[in-house]
Amino acid sequence: MDANVHPTKTEVRFKNEGDVYSALQRAIRQVLVNTAPVPRVEEIGAAYRGKSQMVSPPEQRHMDMNIVMEEEQGTSVVSSLPVLRVLGQSMNSYIVAEGPEGIYIIDQHAAHERIMFEKITKQKQQQGVETQGLLEPVSIEVLPVQNEMLSKNYNYLADFGFTIEPFGNRTYLVRAVPSIMYNRDWRAALNELIDKLSEKDNASITEHIIATMACHSAIRFGQSLTLDEMRGLVRLMEQAALPHACPHGRTTMIQITKKQLEKEFGRVK
């Protein structure tokens, strides 16, 4: 260490800066690691092998920077996940990361679903779901059975960020949509939400509606992400209250321990 690099001794220079950085990173990571379990490969059972919500890529495969921006603005919370270092993306669907206990494989769609579910829920509980007005109203035509429900409940959907008004026989004008869905396929989401209006009296209808919105606003399975976007997604996962499962109950990640890897490569018995 050289303490003579600054006249007032306010700076020092390390001979091996990389080694010092690595040592600090390891020390900080070890302190921050939480022991909350992440499912390991052999622990993934039938509970996580239900119907998979495969979502086709959106019309535009452009990934905006919302994930990165949200990660930068996020508040610090006690995480139930270990600190992870993103290694890359596999098959444009899974984020591969390294942690203190081994390798973690993250389902990017399921993980982002969880993040969006908690974000929408928090908005609704506080100031209300944020809306974004459309440049021009969009006309939609619904089926007769959907019209029966929507004609009585279109104001109910305003609580979830949709501004809708009747516009003729089985036709409605959509003037605003939830901000998180503005650049997504909100039409498909709205179609599903209209079908769910028949369950309006169900105590869990709010949760079901928010889960549908989260699914349609999340990044897609099969969508290419930049390294910054993957890092942002992982950081947001670390801030989630329930990061281990998506709103539909599927696991968001699996873990392959160092011991498992060594066993597979014949390094240990």
Q: How confident is the model at residue 121 (pLDDT cuts 50, 70, 90)?
A: very high
> What global pTM score does this model have?
0.72
pLDDT at residue number 64: 45
C-beta atoms surrounding 154 within 10 Å: 18
Name the nearest CA neighbour of 96 among 108, 106, 109: 106
pLDDT at residue number 31: 52
Please say if the pLDDT value at position 186 is more than 70.
yes
Higher pLDDT, 178 or 1: 178
Q: How confident is the model at residue 48 (pLDDT cuts 50, 70, 90)?
A: very low
Please say if the pLDDT value at position 28 is more than 70.
no
Question: How many residues are recorded in the chain?
Answer: 269
pLDDT at residue number 215: 96
Q: How confident is the model at residue 9 (pLDDT cuts 50, 70, 90)?
A: low
**CA-CA distance, 150 to 161, in Å (whole number)?**
15
Lowest mean pLDDT among 53-57, 136-140, 211-215: 53-57
Name the nearest CA neighbour of 180 among 156, 213, 207, 133: 213
**CA-CA distance, 175 to 198, in Å (whole number)?**
23
Mean pLDDT of 136-160: 93
pLDDT at residue number 81: 78
Mean of the per-residue pLDDT values of the chain:
81
**CA-CA distance, 252 to 236, in Å (whole number)?**
13
Phi, psi of 40 (to 5 degrees): -90, 165
pLDDT at residue number 23: 60
**Contact 255/103 with Cβ under 8 angstroms?**
yes
